[in-house]
């Protein structure tokens, strides 16, 4: 950004504020209301997050590699923001929504999310509600056939989206680029 150009463009205007860049996901129809159960067994809806920014990530606790890696990145980014901009960090809630509600009970989620950060919320619910919410958030998932021991993997969309205090989508967080990139993106968009 060239400060001289901005100054020049402002000359002669009675009031001059810098142009506001719209969020990358501005106007996207992603997200919406939900009614789920958190890791403490409490009923939680989207209204409980009103006024705060939400990182929404969908996955499952038995995921062998992708989910733990992504959640570690999100947890590390949150610690980084908490250190650099504590007031900003307090406005953000990382939310992990299971797409495997049959196995991911509140008790299972409680142990799991605690490993990635004290502020992380784990949400589960009925198979029907999880399916509905995943569609709203544009998340695809499909369970594979169980192996002889009954274990199974679930293919799923691997993405973390930031939502604003009004529940509207803001930006896809660059989780594949690591915690520093995610922290930078959070500090850019969370006010």
Interacting residue ranges for Ni ion, rule: CB under 5 A: 59, 63, 66-67
- Contact between 29 and 135 under an 8 Å Cβ cutoff? The reply is no
Tokens of 47: 């209204």
- Least distance to Ni ion, CB of residue 14, Å: 54
How far apart CA 20 and CA 49 sit, in angstroms, is 25
Residue 28 CB neighbours (<10 A): 14
Shorter beta-carbon distance to Ni ion: residue 89 or 139: 139
**CA distance readout (Å), 129 to 23, 97, 101, 125, 182:** 28, 11, 10, 6, 29
- Least distance to Ni ion, CB of residue 156, Å: 6
- Least distance to Ni ion, CB of residue 189, Å: 24
Shorter beta-carbon distance to Ni ion: residue 66 or 172: 66
Shorter beta-carbon distance to Ni ion: residue 21 or 145: 145
How far apart CA 155 and CA 63 sit, in angstroms, is 9
160-163/92-98 β-pairing = unpaired
- Least distance to Ni ion, CB of residue 104, Å: 11
Shorter beta-carbon distance to Ni ion: residue 160 or 190: 160
Tokens of 29: 């129809």
From 145, 139, 155, select the one nearest 62 (Cα to Cα): 155
- Least distance to Ni ion, CB of residue 114, Å: 18
Shorter beta-carbon distance to Ni ion: residue 59 or 75: 59
Shorter beta-carbon distance to Ni ion: residue 63 or 179: 63
- Least distance to Ni ion, CB of residue 60, Å: 6
Which residue number has the CB closest to Ni ion?
63
């Amino acid at each position: 950004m060239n400060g001289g150009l901005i100054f020049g463009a402002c000359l002669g205007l009675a009031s001059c504020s810098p142009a506001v860049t719209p969020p990358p996901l501005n106007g996207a129809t992603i997200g919406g209301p939900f009614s789920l159960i958190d890791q403490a067994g409490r009923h939680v809806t989207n209204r409980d997050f009103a006024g705060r920014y939400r990182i929404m990530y969908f996955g499952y606790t038995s995921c062998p590699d992708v989910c733990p890696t992504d959640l570690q990145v999100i947890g590390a980014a949150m610690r980084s923001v908490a250190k650099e901009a504590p007031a900003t960090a307090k406005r953000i809630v990382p939310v992990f929504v299971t797409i495997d509600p049959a196995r991911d009970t509140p008790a299972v989620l409680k142990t799991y999310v605690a490993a990635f950060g004290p502020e992380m919320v784990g949400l589960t619910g009925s198979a029907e509600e999880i399916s509905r919410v995943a569609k709203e958030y544009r998340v695809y998932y499909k369970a594979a056939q169980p192996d002889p021991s009954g274990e199974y993997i679930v293919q799923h969309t691997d993405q973390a989206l930031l939502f604003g205090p009004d529940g509207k989508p803001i930006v896809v967080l660059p989780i594949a680029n690591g915690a520093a990139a995610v922290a930078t993106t959070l500090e850019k968009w969370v006010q």
